Structure formats: structure tokens, C-alpha cells
Amino acid sequence: MLKKITNGFIFTIFILLIPIILPVSLLQSLREKRRMRKLAGRFVCVECGEVLGVEAIQLADERWDEIVKAIIAKSEPGTRLRLVRTVDAICPHCGCQYLYRKAERTFEVREESPDWELLEPKLDSE
């Protein structure tokens, strides 16, 4: 009985906090995106030595959209997916792919994963 009341209370508090949680998380997301764009404007590619620029973020966004579409197309209908982004910037000069490290606020060369390789060669051939 007490557990039901406690769970109901926690649920009510959560519902009441949604109008605060959503805008705050949206603002944090926008701020992180802005930081990433700013960093891309001065980050020198470790492969070719050119500055990435904002175009690197746009290329990664397009690439990520393609990856997500391919994953959804391969999934059973109604499957709930939990995706972790695997590319945040792609050098427009040499194609080197980077992940954004939020804690260090820097880009790190993306390590190849066998899971990603299974999916991504199919994207390249389309």
C-alpha cells in the first residue's frame, strides 16, 4: 500500500517536472551542438592537416541520417531502437571520421567497429 502511494507520488513529481526537464535538455543539446560547430571551425584534421569547418558537421549529420534509415529499413516493424551516434564530424577534405568527446570537448578519430562495417559498406554501394 505504502509502495503504491510512493510510486504514484514519484510518477506525479516526474509528470510535473516534464515542462522543466524538456526545455532544459533541449537547451543543453543546442549548446553542445553550438560548441561542436565552434570546435569544428578550428579543429585541424589529424589525417590531412586541414581545418574541418562546419561542413564536417553537416556531412556527419547526412551520413548519420543514412545510417539510421538503413538500420530502420533492416529492423523488424515495431522494433524499439536505442541508437548511439557513431559519427559526429567527417573531414570534407579527406573523409576522416570523428566522434565528439563531450567531456573533453574535442574530436577523436572514430575507431572502426565490426557492427558498423556490417552496415556501412551497404550504404556506400547505394
Nearer to Zn ion, 93 or 119 (CB): 93
Residue that has been written with the C-alpha cell 505504502 in this structure: 2
> Which residues are 101's β-sheet partners?
106
Nearer to Zn ion, 94 or 109 (CB): 94
Long-range contacts of 66-75 (CB under 8 A, 24+ apart): 66/123, 67/119, 67/120, 67/123, 70/119, 70/122, 70/123, 71/119, 74/119
Enumerate residues 51-90 that contact Zn ion by CB under 5 A.
none
Enumerate residues 93-112 that contact Zn ion by CB under 5 A.
93-94, 96
The answer to whether the CB of 36 falls within 8 A of the CB of 100 is yes
Q: Mask: binding to Zn ion, 1-40, rule CB under 5 A, as x and -?
A: ----------------------------------------
Nearer to Zn ion, 17 or 94 (CB): 94
Binding site for Zn ion (CB under 5 A): 45, 47-48, 91, 93-94, 96
